[in-house]
Amino acid sequence: MRDAPATPNADPKPETRSFRSTPATGAPATRESVVSASMAPITAKDFGYDQARHLLWRAGFGGTPEQIQTLASWGPTKAVDYILDPGNAPADRPGADTFDKSIMREPTAEERAAYQKARQSQDEDALAKFRVEQQRRQGQDRQQIGEIQRWWLKRMIETPRPLEEKMTLFWHGHFATSYRTIENSYHMFMQNELFRSHALGNFGNLLYGIIRDPAMLKYLNNDTSRKGRANENLAREIMELFSLGIGGYTEKDIKEGARALTGYTFKDDAFEFQKNNHDASGKTILGRTGTFDGDGFVKIILEQPGVAKFITRKLYHYFCADLPPLERASYDELPRHQQTVLRDLASTFSGGRYEIKPVLRRLFLSQHFYDSRIMSEQIKSPTQLVVGAVRSLNTPVRDLSILNDALDLMGQNLLLPPSVKGWDGGRSWINTSTVFVRQNILAFLLTGKKPRGYDANADEMKYDPMPLLEELAKASPGSEKDPAAVADYMLRLTLGNAPDAAKTELVSLSKTTGGSVTRELVIGYLLLITAMPEYQLC
Amino acid sequence: MDLHNSPAFTRRSFLTSGLTLASTAWTIPAFLGSSADAMAKMLGAGLSSTPGVDDDRILVVIQLSGGNDGLNTVIPFGMGEYYKARAGIGVRADQVLKLSGADGVGLHPRMTALKELFDEGMLSVVQGVGYPNPNRSHFKSMDIWHTADTDATGDGWLGRYYDSECCGFGKGESGQVEKTDTPTLDPAISIGRNAPLALQGRGSKPVAFESAELFRWSGEDIHEALREPYHDLNRRGSVEGTEGGNTNADFLMRTALDAQISSDKIRKAVAQKPLVGYPGNELGRQLQMVGSMIRAGLKTRVYYVTLGGFDTHSGQGGAQGRHGNLLANFADSLRAFYKDLKAQGNDGRVLTVTFSEFGRRVAQNASGGTDHGTAAPMFICGPMIRPGVIGDHPSLTDLDQGDLKYKIDFRSVYAGVLDQWLQADSKKVLGGTYKPVVVLNKA
């Protein structure tokens, strides 16, 4: 499942680039002073190992040497098209019964009546029993949210469609909803599947879907919003955080939009429109007047030119380069090259009627995307770090619970984002505490060494990094036995453009440990590399 | 003078002189700059990380996890209903440690150490602390206490305190969180595997470790030959001219160096032998670490420690037994902590607050234990606090479904600590106005 793009029938071009050659892309000091703003497609001649590696990291969670070589041999168009649509790679979508939907189910009519009776008669013993039962169910549901977190993490690690999971994670951060508030793990699972089914589909359809999603309706309190007592939470966030961004609407638009959304609620696990609670009277939203319901509200939003600008800005931040959030920098305040690129992406997005694939295709093929200042300059999210390490280095997964705990410690507790704003990303991931967690979770993946506090069964799953060297042996037979050549090769695989100090340290390690390329040496290389500040970048 | 470009300041010499440097500049991302402010800090001239705020003040939070039985902690021996509801686990009036000036309430007999603190004027008891519409789920109620929000949403209250100190924004607001050009506060430190939500801000994240030995790279245990190259690679921030550079790579290099320095400093601090003996229990071990870090002069303002095991659904015991043992561990550890701080001369700098996610039901259950309840007392400790008992004990007859009705909103205690001790703006941090409890003697 893991070796997605490598197809045995592919006819790779003979690899002409030596792994020992100095990478063509310059170090920061030698980079050109202006980032290319060209959205013209990168040519096949400029698309080699480093570019294929970059594409695999950004449009997914990194790739193995074999995957990198294969994409490089395919050239940019075929490589990007495969990433966007991996053909017959199995989708393997989870069924509705993957998790237990009954844990936090609504009480039955009989249960409700019994509870009312106990309350009225002040039957303390019976009431205590209800409370204990409620606590038991909450406990069981917390177990299940942990299972769902690990299930998703495993899926990201194993999927042959990495971009689909990466976009699912994007939508989760975009339409951020937290289990902490809704306390219904099955609804979080349903929402996760909603994101997956629209991951690379159409943003408009997803926006219509989100106002029917039980988790979102609960999270932003629309489930109790009714005529005369409209709750503005969902209407506000739809415009501010989900579609237009601050400044694209007025407070009156929020009030009117909230009325349009009244009666949009859910029963058990399904959307329900309660006509009696819906305010069907006239409204004026974003300059349009009518008796809009929730769908009408979404339709008006989707007619605004601000939507394409806002969503592509977030996609750019996620896939390409750090951008300050809109409230901190308007479009005009961004560097000129970014304005140019963002304008282009927005017009692609609106021209394609909010289809996601064309806009990503345009970005992933652009010369801008492969500028030396764009490559290896994005800070990996915790998920990107962990999933990417397993996928690109082929380490054992070892223990999903420990990986999941580490994500939390690194600040990305999946399905429990810190707020409706999601995760800020970029530098906010990094501080003196998360630095060690990042280094140590990699040491755990590579060696099985756990920090004390976990029971240690360190070497049960031995990691064999030697297959990583196969591509080196193919390209330059004999090099796989040369510690310096292996150091170069591993650095280029893991860091792209590595600093000179790294090679010096690796080579000196090989000398102090006997001078030959062994499994232990390669793991030693990887331990040092993954503990380098540069490893946090992709 | 520029430390970064000084030829004498080579990588090797940095490794040997690193700790001297660390003692004044750890975690301050001062390697960015030649600004006078940063230089002064590196030379130890400025002790305050933020102008105008007294950096000497430290807050320690003790979390009693599982729902501490408030009624068997601060015991209302003067209320007959207490003995009716707790025929098996009630503590006899003659065993209760009476508190001078407190009518009809006293401490559990295993908390003689806490009584000493009270008698010395170092302890206040805030009675009946809770919040409206109490939630009896451990998870949810803990989150409510951590976020200071009855919907349990948003960042942690102390994380927001840090956000407001470093970046000037509070609850529900966005702010600049990626500053690299101004001094930041040293992060809060939590002892434990997971960093508590209370300390998670939008821009401020705590340092969390179970033991200081874990606050470092674990890879160096795998082979000794890895140690030197690792340290070389992670301390490049001091020698390779990243100052001023503003790429993500530069930023990561600086943070990696800060992490190395703070790891050295913290591990060195806790390796000290404390000035007094601490009890060997879990909380004692944690407070000993905190005491050592304070003694070593760390600039950390907030420490967070946890004692678990308070979910006493069965076999709770009365004057003796499981719950009493926990209370003894708690009281003895806190007492030792303040003895240590006093011996260091730091006791006047450290205010400690305790809380639990909820109290327990008034009536004991059929298993000799108690089920999840609502309001419970908090303790505030330190020589600077206004000693005594704050508020009245909740009624044992006017109950809400068998549970106590709270008297003081826990956010009033937070507000008192924020406004009076940390000199912060509690309205901004808490996102609302709560009448502050009087915490300090001279508030």
Query: What is the residue-wise DSSP string for A148-191?
Result: HHHHHHHHHHH-S-HHHHHHHHHHHHHT---HHHH--HHHHHHH
Question: In the predicted model, what is the mean pLDDT of residues A31-37?
Answer: 74
What value does the CA radius of gyration of chain B take, rounded to a whole number of Å?
Answer: 23
Our CA-based measurement puts residue B244 at a distance from the nearest CA of chain A, in whole angstroms, of 13
pLDDT at A520 over 60: yes
* Chain A neighbors of B234, CB-CB under 8 A: 531-533
Please answer yes or no on whether A327 and B174 come within 8 Å at the CB atom: yes
| Residue A49 CB neighbour total at 10 angstroms | 23
Look at residue B27 in the predicted model and tell me its pLDDT: 28
Look at residue A446 in the predicted model and tell me its pLDDT: 95
Q: Report the C-alpha dihedral over residues A461, A452, B20, B12, rounded to 10 degrees.
A: -20
DSSP secondary structure string for all residues of A464-489: --GGGGHHHHHHSTTGGG-HHHHHHH
In this prediction the ipTM stands at 0.89
Of B143, B229, B259, the CB nearest to A435: B259
pLDDT (tens digit per residue) in A57-115: 999 999 999 999 999 999 999 999 999 999 888 888 999 999 999 999 999 999 999 99
Our CA-based measurement puts residue B285 at a distance from the nearest CA of chain A, in whole angstroms, of 15
Question: In the predicted model, what is the mean pLDDT of residues A274-280?
Answer: 97
Distance in angstroms between the alpha carbons of the first and the last residue of chain A: 23
- The answer to whether A393 and A401 are in contact (CB under 8 A) is no
Query: How far apart, in whole angstroms, are the C-alpha atoms of residue B404 and residue A190?
Result: 38
Q: Which residue type, as a one-letter code, is found at position A340? A: T
Please answer yes or no on whether B222 and A528 come within 8 Å at the CB atom: no
Question: In the predicted model, what is the mean pLDDT of residues A276-290?
Answer: 97
Estimate to the nearest angstrom the gap between the alpha carbon of A344 and the chain centroid.
23
The reply to whether B234 touches chain A by the CB within 8 Å rule is yes
Tally of residues, chain A: 538
Closest-CA residue to B214 (of A389, A461, A433):
A433
Look at residue B366 in the predicted model and tell me its pLDDT: 83
Of B140, B153, B211, the CB nearest to A419: B153
- The answer to whether A419 and A181 are in contact (CB under 8 A) is no
Our CA-based measurement puts residue A138 at a distance from the nearest CA of chain B, in whole angstroms, of 7
List beta partners, residue A374: none
The reply to whether B370 touches chain A by the CB within 8 Å rule is no
pLDDT at A455 over 60: no
Query: How far apart, in whole angstroms, are the C-alpha atoms of residue B393 and residue A121?
Result: 28
Confidence band (pLDDT; 50, 70, 90) for A22?
A: very low
Q: Which residue type, as a one-letter code, is found at position A202? A: N
- The answer to whether B202 and A423 are in contact (CB under 8 A) is no
The reply to whether B314 touches chain A by the CB within 8 Å rule is no
Look at residue B55 in the predicted model and tell me its pLDDT: 57
Average pLDDT, rounded, for chain A:
90
Query: How far apart, in whole angstroms, are the C-alpha atoms of residue B106 and residue B95?
Result: 9
Look at residue B251 in the predicted model and tell me its pLDDT: 87
Our CA-based measurement puts residue A182 at a distance from the nearest CA of chain B, in whole angstroms, of 10
For residue B439, being part of any structural domain is answered with no
pLDDT (tens digit per residue) in A188-228: 999 999 999 999 999 999 999 999 999 999 999 999 999 99
List chain A domain ranges.
43-84, 96-115+122-302, 306-370, 466-536
Question: In the predicted model, what is the mean pLDDT of residues A518-523?
Answer: 95
Look at residue B243 in the predicted model and tell me its pLDDT: 52
- Region of A448 on the Ramachandran plot (φ > 0 left; ψ -120 to 50 alpha; else beta): left
For residue B136, being part of any structural domain is answered with yes
The reply to whether A520 touches chain B by the CB within 8 Å rule is yes
Name the H helices within B320-369.
Answer: 322-344
φ, ψ of residue A368 in degrees (nearest 5): -55, -45
Query: How far apart, in whole angstroms, are the C-alpha atoms of residue B431 and residue B276?
Result: 41
Cβ-based neighbours of B120, under 8 Å, separated by 6 or more: none
- Region of A293 on the Ramachandran plot (φ > 0 left; ψ -120 to 50 alpha; else beta): beta
Helices (H) and strands (E) in chain B, counts: 12, 12
- Joined together, the tokens standing for residue A462 give 């031995």
Please tell me whether residue A71 adopts helix, strand or coil conformation: helix
pTM for this prediction: 0.81
Burial class (CB in 10 A: 0-12, 13-18, 19+), A513: middle
Query: How far apart, in whole angstroms, are the C-alpha atoms of residue B331 and residue B334?
Result: 5
- Joined together, the tokens standing for residue A105 give 């189910």
pLDDT at A11 over 50: no
The reply to whether B213 touches chain A by the CB within 8 Å rule is yes
Please answer yes or no on whether A537 and B248 come within 8 Å at the CB atom: yes
Please tell me whether residue A243 adopts helix, strand or coil conformation: helix
Tally of residues, chain B: 443
Half-sphere exposure of A242 (CA within 13 A, CB side): 26
Half-sphere exposure of A193 (CA within 13 A, CB side): 19
List beta partners, residue A390: none
* Chain A neighbors of B252, CB-CB under 8 A: 379, 430, 533-534, 536-537
Of A178, A443, A505, the CB nearest to B229: A505
For residue B441, being part of any structural domain is answered with no
Question: In the predicted model, what is the mean pLDDT of residues A223-237?
Answer: 94
Query: How far apart, in whole angstroms, are the C-alpha atoms of residue A54 and residue A459?
Result: 32
The boundaries of the domain holding residue B401 are 56-219+264-430
Query: How far apart, in whole angstroms, are the C-alpha atoms of residue A235 and residue A222?
Result: 9
- The answer to whether B296 and B267 are in contact (CB under 8 A) is no
Residue of B141, B252, B263, B266 best to disrupt the A interface, most CBs of A under 10 A: B252
φ, ψ of residue A489 in degrees (nearest 5): -65, -45
Query: How far apart, in whole angstroms, are the C-alpha atoms of residue A135 and residue A520?
Result: 49
Confidence band (pLDDT; 50, 70, 90) for A17?
A: very low
Look at residue A181 in the predicted model and tell me its pLDDT: 85
Please answer yes or no on whether A532 and B234 come within 8 Å at the CB atom: yes
Of B137, B223, B249, the CB nearest to A138: B137
Cβ-based neighbours of B11, under 8 Å, separated by 6 or more: B232, B235, B236, B238, B239
pLDDT (tens digit per residue) in A333-386: 999 999 999 999 999 999 999 999 999 999 999 999 999 999 999 999 999 999
Of A132, A432, A443, the CB nearest to B27: A432
- The answer to whether A312 and A359 are in contact (CB under 8 A) is yes
Interface of A with B in 120-139 (CB under 8 A): 124, 127-128, 131-132, 134-135, 138
pLDDT at A135 over 90: no
Per DSSP, A107 falls in state P
Interface of B with A in 145-174 (CB under 8 A): 151-155, 174
Please tell me whether residue A140 adopts helix, strand or coil conformation: helix
- The answer to whether A3 and A471 are in contact (CB under 8 A) is no
pLDDT at A25 over 50: no
Of B178, B187, B211, the CB nearest to A428: B178
Per DSSP, A105 falls in state P
List beta partners, residue A289: A284
Look at residue B244 in the predicted model and tell me its pLDDT: 55
Query: How far apart, in whole angstroms, are the C-alpha atoms of residue B303 and residue B158?
Result: 10
For residue B226, being part of any structural domain is answered with no
Spell out the per-residue pLDDT of chain B, length 443, in tens. Answer: 122 222 222 222 222 222 222 222 222 232 222 233 333 333 333 333 333 334 589 999 999 999 999 999 999 999 999 999 999 999 999 999 999 988 899 999 999 999 999 999 999 999 999 999 999 888 889 999 999 999 888 889 999 999 898 777 777 666 555 444 444 678 899 998 677 899 988 777 788 888 887 789 999 888 899 999 999 999 887 655 545 567 899 889 988 998 898 899 999 999 999 999 999 999 999 999 999 999 999 989 999 999 999 999 889 999 999 999 999 999 999 999 999 999 999 999 999 999 999 999 999 988 899 989 999 999 999 999 999 999 999 999 999 888 999 999 999 999 999 999 999 999 999 999 999 999 998 75
Number of domains in chain B: 1
Closest-CA residue to B179 (of B4, B26, B29):
B29
Half-sphere exposure of A317 (CA within 13 A, CB side): 20
- The answer to whether B238 and B26 are in contact (CB under 8 A) is no
Please tell me whether residue A7 adopts helix, strand or coil conformation: coil
Burial class (CB in 10 A: 0-12, 13-18, 19+), A532: buried
Residue of B10, B150, B217 best to disrupt the A interface, most CBs of A under 10 A: B217
Half-sphere exposure of A270 (CA within 13 A, CB side): 4
